[in-house]
Amino acid sequence: MSVWSLRVRARAFVILSSLSAVVLLYPASSLAQEDDGAVAVSVDQAKLVRLPQKVTTIVVGNPLIADVALQPGNVMVVTGKGYGATNVIAMDSAGQVLLDRLIRVAGETDYVISVFSGASRYSYSCTPLCEPRLTMGDENRYFGAISGQITSRNNQAIGMSSGRP
């Protein structure tokens, strides 16, 4: 193989690598840079949002996508529960709408590795060691096993904190 063909292949590799990095980073960067007033949050993450004065009621369109909680000091906690978009409406005691905002929930992509075996997907969180991660869309038996382990661990922690063995 000639030096010229090696240079062409190396240049093509650099170009293709750069393009794939742009394609992989596009969804995350577009979500983070949205300036349409939407609240962008990751699944299993929370974000604080400042509310107008006199908010007494908060309504979330789809609580399977996001959970919201009103806190003292006109602060709302938005927690991502599932992928997708919903809205949140904040009202005063007279029913006047003070805020109506879109909430977009996406999956966390930093340090997540997806392993595909045929049509099945298995997710791992690598921070820094790779360990199983509960991610919607994973293979059913894998998801169920991880979910069961998390539930068992949480139940044990609740039992220990209440003084029960």
pTM strictly above 0.85 = no
Please state whether the peptide bond connecting residue 128 to the residue before it is cis, i.e. omega within 30 degrees of 0. Answer: yes
Give residue 83's pLDDT band: very low, low, confident or very high (50, 70, 90): confident
Q: What is the CATH code for 39-106?
A: 2.60.40.1080
Residues 6+ positions from 112 with CB-CB distance below 8 Å: 123, 124, 125, 126, 133, 135
Q: Hey, where are the domains in the chain?
A: 1-33, 39-106, 112-161
Residues 126-137 pLDDT 10s: 888 888 888 888
Residues 66-82 pLDDT 10s: 999 999 999 999 999 98
